[in-house]
Structures are given as structure tokens and as C-alpha cells.
Amino acid sequence: MDWFSVCILAEKYEVYVFAGSGGTIFKRLGVTSIPIPVPIDLVLFPNQTLPGKIVFGTWETFGSWLSQPCTVEMYLLVYSFSALDVRESDKGVGIYLPNTYSSSSAFTAMLHLKYLLVLATFALPYIPESLAAIGPVADLVISNQNVSPDGFTRGAVVAGGHTIGPLIVGKKGDNLRINLINRLNDNTMLQSTSIHWHGFFQKTTNWDDGVPFVNQCPIAKGDSFLYDFDVPDQAGTFWYHSHLSTQYCDGLRGPLVIYDPNDPHASLYDVDDESTVITLADWYHTKAKQIVFGTPDSTLINGLGRWSHGNATSELAVITVTQGKRYRMRLINTSCDPAFTFSIDNHTMTVIETDSVNNVPLEVDSLRIFVAQRYSFVLHANQAVGNYWIRANPNAGTMGFANGINSAILRYVGAEEAEPPVRNITNTNELNEANLVPLENPGAPGDPVVGGVDVAMHLDFAFTSAAQFTVNGVTFVSPTVPVLLQILSGAQTADSLLPTGSIITLPVNATVEISMTGGLLGLQHPIHLHGHTFNVVRAAGMTGYNFANPIRRDVVNAGSASDNVTIRFRTDNPGPWILHCHIDWHFNNGFAIVLAERTNEWNTTIDPTDAWDDLCPIYDSLSEADL
């Protein structure tokens, strides 16, 4: 017997350990039902093990229910280990581990080479359960749970049981079928819901974009709804979140990655998996229904953090790397409010993706990431084995890094399980958005002059004495009938869509230029357009325009009062698409408009399901207490 494998079933969340020889499995360790994933050594060996020692497990006869070894297709996770020796004894089967074995919270596996005593080692980083991947076809249960991601316990709205929902994955060309099951029952928070799949074009499936009263009615508690859409021409880093009021500030958000089998950047990195996804989030100890404009209590990185008045030993997220390897880190700002200045001590970052758009590699030592933005960067683990601070300093809430707030840990395999030493780090090469250049198809639509488009408009943002935001003098108030349904049902014409003053109708195949003045309330507002990526022909801080090779993205910082941030896109996607500030408190107070694109095509290109038709009657029948 020269190897054994650990297999975790995708559906039952049970651990099976198989022993075999020559490719034949003939014994199985008893089943352990546990939340996954957990450190494998804790599953196999309840007592702490030491390198070079014999450890024992109780084996039972292998049945006939499985005729082949574990495979990735059958299981969520498969780990194969080589052993120096495996011996039968009255205690069970002893597995003699090589001296390279390390018991730690990170998985350390001996690569199975099928030859006894021939060993190779590699690290499998600990993946938080919330980031264990599902998809592209999956159920997603939305429920209420008490959580304490920063040491403070409160009720929350969670996807898959966690304040950062499970990572959803697919590959370019996939059909995503996510069945959302609403089990919310806490009336101190919203009990209906909807999910926006941030960054997806949703061509011909505008009804799946997930914005209540624009693309759909909310999904009532006790109900379910299948989001079913294709991703034929998109790959990269995305995320999902509730788009109902400020519900995602109560926890309903998660990462989503579409992998490209032909990624043009593939030669730049060695590792790109669940362990390299990094989510940033703000966290509030007060429920969102009670907040008008909130101040975060803490920052969560991959769902963990500390708050300034809490326990300085609360668990922090750990990202594990192996010295010499190159990692594609996928960074997502899932917050409701703050932008973060992000860096990793002693390491540079080579940015290769901006909001699911490949860009020419650009090396920086820090970057500012606004709400809903995403970056992929390559991190080369080329430093001494040790622990290094990952820093995400917010522009709202408690700033700095005292006692480990706003922080996580980058840990090299072989380093002690300890927090890094306190260091004062000065970064000198922060990302400048204007320096980002798309890798493919550069160039903005229209003529290379200001206003050289079919439709040019300026958006004037303001704040009223009633604590409401306006766009061009109008506060967005959600209609009672979704904008999409208004046309599909024949209730309204394109010229009379509701809400009045907040709908801008755009013609077919037009080039559009939108400029905006930032700095409202002294803040920098992240502006997101659904259904598109756009060309940022004038970024914050620029005094001129770049029509030749501006970066394309779907969230842009509107900048300061001296800026005139300008974007361009083409109307190639029929449907109502909301444009809004992604600071959720601002959106909830009217900071939005809807671009009604190619309205004459909605009835012929957008065909919602019968289940979509049922959403509004079900929601409209709810009592106030059940909304």
C-alpha cells in the first residue's frame, strides 16, 4: 500500500479516506461528517502529529459502491498523499509520514507519484468554507443567521450560510443556472431579496439582471427563482449581491469567477483557484434597515476581521503561498461604502485585469479599489519564508492597522503560525487608473474629440436638504412596476416610462458619451453602469482625454469637484440598465437613473420565464411585515 487519498463529496459534505496500491482502492476510512473544508490533519489524526511518526486511523472494509479512485468530477476536493510506509497493527492502519509533512491550518500534501519513497511536496492553502466553489449550476440558499466575523455577534442575511457567500465559478461559454432559494424569516431585516450578477452583460436576459423594479420584482420569502443566463463572451472576476435596498450591507454578497481556458495572461502565473480570491467588505454592527448613512465598524478580508473596540486576537484571514510560485490574486471590493487602499508588505502587484477586462500588465505596490471594482494581479512569492501583512485601509470607518484591524496575513509555507511583526510601510507606486490600457481591442467608440458621439450628456449630481441625492435634478424612486415589465406588458410606451425624469431613452447602435462632475459632499463616488463595460476616456485626475486606448471597466470613480470624468459605450444591448452610485446608502437615497436602451426591441429580444412573470403577483400580495 503506497498512497492514500482524501475525498470530500460535493453533496453530502462527508470525508472519505481511501488507501490503495497500484491504482486500486481497497480500503476506506470511516466516514466523518463535518463542515468543509477543514485542515486534513484534524480529520485524519485527531491527535497532533509530528514528522516522522506513525499515526493511526481505524479502517473498515472497502465496499463495492465505488469502483474507481476519487476524481475532480466526482468530488469538491481531492488530496492525494504519498507515505513512507503503511502498516497494519492492532490499532488500525499506521501511516508513516515523511519529514516534510507539516501539521498546520494550511493543507500540506505529499504529491502521489505512485512510487514508494519518491516524494514531492506542494501546498494546498486553507480555503475558507465560504470560498469553497459552487457552480455553474447550483442552489443558493439565502437565510438569516447569527454571525460574528469580527468578534461581534449579530443577525445577518447570508448566502450559503456565510457573510461572504460561496464562490461561484464557471468557464467562458458556460450557462449559469443559480437557483435562489429564499429562506429569510427575520423581520428586523428585509425578507424579500434579489440578486444582481455584477459585471455580466445579460444580453437577451435583461430580466436576470436582478435590480428590483427595474428588471424584476423581488423574490418573496418562502419562494425561489432560477437565474439562468449565458456567458458566451465574458471571463474574469465578478461578484454577486442583493440589489434590494441596502440588503447586501447585512451580508448578502459573494465572489464569482469565470475562467478563460485561453487566458492570454496564463503564462504570467502558476496558481489561480479558490485560494487566490480576496474579498474586501465593510461590516456594520447595526442592521441596515436602521441606517440612513452608515459608518463601518470593521473591515472584513475573506469574511474575517477585527473591530477597533473588540478582541485584538479575533481570527484574521490567512492566504498561504509557496515560495517561488506566482499567484493570480482576484481582488473584489464588495463593500457598501468605503474604498480601500490595498497593499501586501514587501510585495509588488502586477495588475492584469480590471473589472473583467484584460489589461496590459502594470506593476504597482498599492492600489485604490472603489466599491464594486475588481482587479486581478500577479503576486510573485519571492520573499523570505515568513508572514506579511495584507493591508486594506478604508476611507470610511476606523483607519489604520492598530491591533490587526483592516488586515489579513500572507503566509509562506514553512512559516510559523504567527502574526507578522508591526512594520511601517511606505508605498510609492500606487495604481493610477489613467495608466491602465486594455489588452484587446483598444479604442473608444465615436470620433476622437469631446462630444464626437451620437448622444452626449452630462450628469449633474446633487444632494438635497431632505438628505436625498438627485441626478439632473431628480431623485430616483423605484416604480411599483418594473421598467422592463412596463414595456413588455404594454402598460407604458418608451416615452412614458416611470419613474418620470429618471429614465433616459437611448437609440439603436448609438455611440454615447456621459460626463459627470465628482466631489459631491466631498466624496468620491463609484459610478456603475449595468449591462456594459465602458471606455473611461477621462479618468479622475486627468486634465485631457484618451480616445486611443482608454481602460474599459464597469465601475468608475467620479473623482473630485475639479474632475470631469467621462465614459463612452455603444448601445448594443437592449433593455433597461440602471446607472447608479455603488455606495449603497447613496443608491438607496436616490442616486440613480435608468438608461432605456433600444426599447423597440424589448418585446422581440427579451423573453422572461413564466417564473419571472409570477414574481410580481407574489410580491404584491405580501403584507408590509413580510416584505
Active site residue 532: no
CB contact set of 434 (below 8 Å; sequence gap of 6+): 539, 541, 542, 546
Cα distance between residue 610 and residue 600, in whole Å? 22
Of the pLDDT bands very low, low, confident and very high (cuts 50, 70, 90), residue 158 is very high
Mean pLDDT, residues 209-220 taken together: 98
**What CA–CA distance (Å, rounded) separates 583 from 569?**
23
Q: Residue 452 has which C-alpha cell?
A: 464626437
Give the cell for residue 143.
437565510
Q: Whole-angstrom Cα distance, residue 329 to residue 264?
A: 16
| Catalytic residue of the set 319, 530, 593, 616 | 530
pLDDT grade for 309, boundaries at 50, 70 and 90? confident
Q: Does residue 283 contact residue 140 with C-beta atoms inside 8 Å?
A: no
Q: How far apart are CA 75 and CA 37, in angstroms?
A: 12
Residues forming beta bridges with residue 408, ordered by sequence position: 390
How is 177-210 classified by DSSP, letter by letter?
A: EEEEEE----TTS---B-EEEET---TT-GGGS-
Q: For residues 578-607, give the mean pLDDT.
A: 95
Among the listed residues 127, 217, 219, 243, the single catalytic one is 243
Alpha helices in 132-188 (DSSP H): none
pLDDT recorded at residue 445? 97
Q: What number does CATH give the domain 455-618?
A: 2.60.40.420
CATH architecture for residues 130-199+234-431: Sandwich (2.60)
581 is catalytic: yes
Q: Which of 528, 567, 569, 578 is catalytic?
A: 528
Which of 95, 178, 583, 616 is catalytic? The answer is 583
Least confident stretch, 164-168, 284-288, 422-426, 573-577: 422-426
Catalytic status, residue 198: yes
- Is pTM beyond 0.85? Reply is no
Does residue 195 have an active-site annotation? no
pLDDT value for 50: 29
pLDDT digit string, tens, across residues 427-485: 999 999 999 999 999 999 999 999 999 999 999 999 999 999 999 999 999 999 999 99
Residue with cell 472519505: 16
Q: Which of 582, 593, 606, 616 is catalytic?
A: 582
Q: Which residues pair with 21 in a beta bridge?
A: 24
Catalytic site residue 45? no
In this prediction, residue 412 carries a pLDDT of 96
Could you tell me the residue ranges of all domains in the chain?
Answer: 3-122, 130-199+234-431, 455-618
Q: Catalytic: 530?
A: yes
* Per-residue cell: 500: 418620470
DSSP 8-class letter at 220: P
Catalytic residue among 8, 581, 593, 616: 581
Of 59-63, 321-325, 477-481, give the lowest mean pLDDT range.
59-63
pLDDT greater than 70 at residue 56: no
Helix (H, G, I), strand (E, B) or coil at 504: strand
> Given this model, what pLDDT does residue 132 score?
65
Question: Catalytic: which of 112, 162, 196, 265?
Answer: 196
What is the predicted pLDDT for the residue at 387?
Answer: 97
Find the catalytic residue in 112, 162, 532, 580: 580
| Continuous H helices in 39-156 | 40-44
Tell me the C-alpha distance between 80 and 4, whole Å.
6
Q: Which three cell numbers stand for residue 367?
A: 492600489
Mean pLDDT of 181-201: 97
* Residue 586 annotated among the catalytic residues of the structure: yes
User: Cα dist. 384→42, 346, 350, 387 in Å?
Assistant: 28, 10, 19, 9
Q: Residue 43: helix, strand or coil by DSSP? A: helix
- Give a three-class secondary structure readout of 342-382: EEECCCCEEEEEECCEEEEEEEECEEEECCCCEEEEEEECC
Residue 231 in this model has a pLDDT that exceeds 90: yes
Whether 525 is catalytic: yes
Answer whether 484's CB lies under 8 Å from 215's CB. yes
**Contact criterion met (CB below 8 Å) for 339 and 390:** no
Mean pLDDT of the chain: 82
Least confident among 28-42, 81-95, 293-307: 28-42
The yes-or-no answer on residue 380 being catalytic is no
Instruction: Identify residue 122 by its one-letter amino acid code.
Output: F
Catalytic residue among 162, 265, 525, 532: 525
**285 noted as active-site residue:** no
Determine the Cα–Cα distance for residues 289 and 192; give it in Å rounded to an integer. 13
3-state DSSP helix/strand/coil percent for the chain, to nearest 5? Answer: 10, 40, 50
CB 409 within 8 A of CB 390: yes
Q: Has 347 been annotated as catalytic?
A: no
Torsion (CA) 37, 40, 44, 49 in degrees, nearest 10: -140
Write the pLDDT tens digit of every residue in 534-582. 999 999 999 999 999 999 999 999 999 999 999 999 999 999 999 999 9
Residues in contact with 21: Cβ distance below 8 Å, sequence separation at least 6, in sequence order: 1, 2, 3
| Residue 620 parent element (H or E) | helix 610-620
Please report the DSSP string for 249-315 in residue order: GGT-EEEEEEE-TT-TTGGG-SB-SGGGEEEEEEE-SS-GGG-SS---SEEEETTB--BTTS-TTS-
**CA gap 576, 309 in Å, rounded:** 44
Residue of 201, 591, 593, 616 with catalytic role: 591
- Nearest-angstrom CA–CA distance, 3 and 23: 9
Does pLDDT of 584 surpass 80?
yes
pLDDT greater than 50 at residue 36? no
Q: What angle do CA 291, 297, 301 make, to 5 degrees?
A: 120
